[in-house]
Structure 1
């Protein structure tokens, strides 16, 4: 894939900094799923911090707008290139991402939602700069089949939270609906879907692609519950209207997922 001259010039300037070990392009552009609204998600892997003034000197050359040193999730510089395309520069350490991937892919430690996102992020990224080949080494190390133990760990962690146990989302949503607490219903629904899609991607051995296009990407799997897209659409509609029928829909969504998990001997 070719990139704009403006983007290429930015990457070239960043590559000259000795603190930068590697630069990877991720997101939809890295995975060749870009559309006209796609930005550049650039992961800048550091061996030492680059001060804000140095970053500003570089981004001032290539960006018409820039928010430097945003700290909402990770350290980021977020702005707009001179050609009008948005760019995110996210700063990380290679040692940090190696540790996160080892914990998940090699040690098979699951979370509750988005367990394998960093794995997908690395695998889907295009290496734009790699000073000593460390990024390529990491990609090769973690280009492995989906571990069976990780799949089981994700299901064991997430499935009880659908309906089976006291902290389950089903029971939290029941309380929120009875209270008429719209914000809580929205929040618990979103958290439930995080767990649901974590399992759906796991059973299909797909590293989790993140919070965008989840239905379309999950639909590429071979092990999908019956009526799952219909159930998702219905549940979202019911959550928006505070319809108590949401609980029946969530029960159906859970049971249809359970059928898939049983067929794979995961529950």
Structure 2
């Protein structure tokens, strides 16, 4: 009999694996609606939908493995990382989906959120003031006008599966929608800066690396408290706090 594996679980959503089936349970059915819609529109491989209930989505497992995870060792050849970059470029060049995604927050809203979070990090003693201040300055480069693209919105390396040097599928589309393409590139290379050149080689476009680095700082600053409050450890080696320290 297949065992039930808890892939990820917190107060908002959970993902379980039973054999070759993944069950996504989400308290907010609109996130599942967004995920199903995005997978139907994305020009890259996605998991096959087996069935759907209001707050549960059943997906078939993908072939291959991921390139690793944040805080863990990365795997795969330079060609595999480049293939992931090429898949991102294909997604970003696709016709825009109807929804605004997580990567599509306005500069005004994002700036206000970032400033409030930086103040909370310092006031509550979560991070040293100099670390927050330095990374807030680095993050400024991401707060600029951008051309909307079809973005995944949570493109961690754990969400991209490859078989050898071929992308077999991309999972977790609940944050997808119109947004800043460089947010996806930064999320994918967060904590794995050594593979940025390979990803950009596959992406095939002239990218402002200062903006990528800015998104590393911005995304990490916004994530630290949320992660700690939902049972994750942003202070673990190689994770968000180490990313912030690397900007010092």
Greater RCO structure (CA 8 Å; 6+ sep): 2
Larger Rg: 1
Q: TM-score under structure 2 normalisation?
A: 0.29
More helix by share: 1
